[in-house]
Amino acid sequence: MRAPILSLLLALSLHASAGEIDQPTALQMLQRADTVLIDVRTADEFAEGALPGAVRIETPDIAERIGTLAPEKDTPVVLYCRSGRRASEAQDVLEKLGYTQVINAGGYDELATALPSD
């Protein structure tokens, strides 16, 4: 009886941490030329401002469209939205599809402030 409960708790804790915001790693990955930057916000939010080089794909469409941007499942992918919640959902989708280097960078405003200005 104890083993199934421990297994369940472990699975729940792993799921909860899968979509956590990791801005330091996101900033590091954005230094790489092969990183794909995806904005999962709405068209209106994107029109108000987006990070340079970001491609807009809303979370419900990400499974269908990711293959054109990142055909290799080990491609680094950085996701952001307004707060990190939708990016977390998109991260879960991509990880279920087998993508291995997916980072939730959190919210646009915080990420834009943290990026070095050229």
Catalytic one among 36, 79, 81, 105? Answer: 81
Cβ-based neighbours of 84, under 8 Å, separated by 6 or more: 19, 21, 104, 105, 106, 107
Q: Mark whether 81 is an active-site residue.
A: yes
At 102, is the secondary structure helix, strand, or coil?
A: strand
Cβ-based neighbours of 108, under 8 Å, separated by 6 or more: 39, 41, 45, 49, 50, 51, 80, 81, 82
CA 100 to chain centre: 11
Q: What is the set of active-site residues?
A: 81
